[in-house]
Structure 1
Amino acid sequence: MAIKMLAIDLDGTLLTDSKTILPGTYKALQEAKAAGIKIVLTSGRPLSGIKGYAEELGLSGSEEYAILFNGAVVQNLDGRVLISHDLDFGDFNTLLHMQRLSDVNLDFETPDRFYTLDKRISIRLQIDGAETKNQLWIQDRSDFKKDFTFAKAVYQCDDPDQVDRLWNRLPDWFFQSYAVVRSWPEVVEVGSLAASKGYAVSELASRLGLSNSEVMIFGDQGNDRSMFEILDFKRVAMGNAIDEIKDLADYVTDTNERDGIAKALRKLVL
């Protein structure tokens, strides 16, 4: 069956390590658009962090979509929320308690801004805020009210050993209660069990009248795994992907630094 939708991760997939879209990848995606294939950026970022890249690809308006916060939120590019799986004040307290297991930063991410209680901010968290073009607010615990909700929480640290320490100490019940992914060596992301990139891509495809077999997905890291676990998708791993993603893929293309998306599209779609 012909591919009618591309769900594409950003960091390490669409983007080079210097956060640019290569000319060859841009050209192939423009050809896919001209052929009527829907392009959906699929990221752990908020809308503010993907909108510039969407506009670079010529994607805008109410009929174009993005999957955000690892699937916790689906919005059109005008900002209207189609799907949302939030965490609440009880989850906020649980996540704060788990932070004590290691010396890591913790931030709570909403479509409007990121919040943290930490006064010492890692370089990694500062970069995360800058790359996503989202404000980072440092608040006291008393500033958070019982009606506070958020899309995703992130533990991160400049020292991967501290993230290892956290990861290895998290109890089994935590993994059974939340969608927990190690998206980078320095980052652990936590969302609702109902939220995943895979579920969100499938649900958006259904809303657009498409079957899973008409969807091709591209990814490279642990937060992309849920997309690779849906067997009906055509699953393409980047050449720079971690081994568990490559093992689940139908096809492994070249790296994000060598037009991996373009090469896969020209071999399999265009």
Structure 2
Amino acid sequence: MSIKLVAVDIDGTLLTSKREITPEVFEAIQDAKKAGVKVVIATGRPISGVKQLLKDLKLDQEGDYVVTFNGGLVQETATGKELAATTMSYEDYLDVHQLSLKLGVHMHAISKRGIFTPNRNIGKYTVHESSLVDLPIFYRTPEEMKDRNIIKMMYIDEPALLNRVIEQLPADLYERYTLVKSAPFYLEILPKTTDKGTAILHLAEKLGITPDEIMAIGDEENDRAMLEVAGTPVVMENGNPSVKQIAKHITKSNDQSGVAYAIRKWVLN
């Protein structure tokens, strides 16, 4: 069955290690669009962190869609109309914050408008995230977070410390939330019903596309859900070894235009 929708992760997948789009990737995406294939960016970033990429790739036009916040938000790129959105409660925030204090790990919460940290000494990875996704940072006490529309929260810290924290997380946290490691220094905490796979299936259903007609391309654990629901899961050569185990195909690395290779070999061929 032919591929009608290609879901593509950004960091470590679409972009090179220098955070660039190669000419080969750009041309392959344009050729896929001309062939009637929906190319959908699916990322952990907020919408502010993908707007320029969507423009550069001409994926900001009528009929284009984007998945952000690791599945927390699905919307039309041209109009901003939301097809699906999830948020987290103030009680969720308090629980995640209290656990961060107990475990000694930096954290922040993200909305469409900013990154909110309770850490007076703002962690360097919160600063990194702000730069990456083009969102301002706000220091706010837990009491000041009551009326925020939080889409996701993150534990962010040095990789070795974060790994130790993950080993200490209580089992009920996994029962209550979706936890995905999107980088060595990022652990993302989302509503239990939120992941890239659920978001892509929701969009595909609206478009009349079946799972067998979906290709997903990714490299990290936060891509696992969409790789598992896609009929054609493709993992980058530079991808996480555990994620490669569920791939139908391994494409070239992000520095070798692996997204372009995958589209041309398994979609347009």
Matched to 1:250, the amino acid is K
By how many angstroms is 1:219 displaced? 0.3
Residue of structure 1 equivalent to 2:261 = 263
Stretches (4+) displaced over 4 A: none
Matched to 1:169, the amino acid is Q
Residues 44, 182 of structure 2: 8 Å contact kept: no
CA distance in 2, matches of 1:101, 1:216: 41
CA distance in 2, matches of 1:67, 1:25: 19
By how many angstroms is 1:62 displaced? 4.8
CA distance in 1, matches of 2:160, 2:174: 20
Summarize the alignment of residues 220-235 of structure 1 with structure 2, pairs less than 5 Å apart.
220-230=219-229, 232-235=230-233
By how many angstroms is 1:141 displaced? 2.3
Residue of structure 2 equivalent to 1:238 = 236
Matched to 1:20, the amino acid is E
By how many angstroms is 1:179 displaced? 0.1
Matched to 2:227, the amino acid is F
Residue of structure 2 equivalent to 1:252 = 250
Residues 108, 153 of structure 1: 8 Å contact kept: yes
Matched to 1:82, the amino acid is L
Which secondary structure state, in structure 1, belongs to the residue aligned with residue 129 of structure 2? helix
Residues 105, 156 of structure 1: 8 Å contact kept: yes
Residue of structure 1 equivalent to 2:177 = 178
Matched to 2:20, the amino acid is T
By how many angstroms is 1:107 displaced? 0.8
Summarize the alignment of residues 1-270 of structure 1 with structure 2, pairs less than 5 Å apart.
1-77=1-77, 78-145=79-146, 147-157=147-157, 159-230=158-229, 232-270=230-268
Q: TM-score, normalised by structure 2?
A: 0.96
State the number of aligned residues. Answer: 267
Deviation per CA, 1:140-167, whole angstroms, max 9, x where unpaired? Answer: 222222x43311001101x212101210
Q: TM-score, normalised by structure 1?
A: 0.95
By how many angstroms is 1:250 displaced? 0.4
By how many angstroms is 1:104 displaced? 2.4
CA distance in 2, matches of 1:214, 1:50: 25
By how many angstroms is 1:72 displaced? 1.1
Query: Larger helix proportion, structure 1 or 2?
Result: 2
Residues 13, 218 of structure 2: 8 Å contact kept: yes
Deviates more, 1:175-184 or 1:61-70: 61-70
Which secondary structure state, in structure 2, belongs to the residue aligned with residue 265 of structure 1? helix
CA distance in 2, matches of 1:34, 1:208: 17
Deviation per CA, 1:91-149, whole angstroms, max 9, x where unpaired? Answer: 0011001102433221111111111111212222111111101111111222222x433
Which secondary structure state, in structure 2, belongs to the residue aligned with residue 248 of structure 1? coil
CA distance in 2, matches of 1:107, 1:62: 34
Matched to 1:179, the amino acid is T
Matched to 2:198, the amino acid is Y
Residues 228, 249 of structure 1: 8 Å contact kept: yes
**What's the C-alpha RMSD, in Å, of the aligned pairs?**
1.2
CA distance in 1, matches of 2:101, 2:173: 14
Residues 70, 223 of structure 1: 8 Å contact kept: yes
Deviation per CA, 1:55-108, whole angstroms, max 9, x where unpaired? Answer: 101111452111111101112113222101211011001100110243322111
CA distance in 2, matches of 1:264, 1:75: 25
Could you list the runs of 5+ residues in structure 1 that have no partner in the other structure?
Answer: none
Could you list the runs of 5+ residues in structure 2 that have no partner in the other structure?
Answer: none
CA distance in 2, matches of 1:229, 1:60: 27
Q: Identity over the aligned pairs, expressed in percent? A: 31
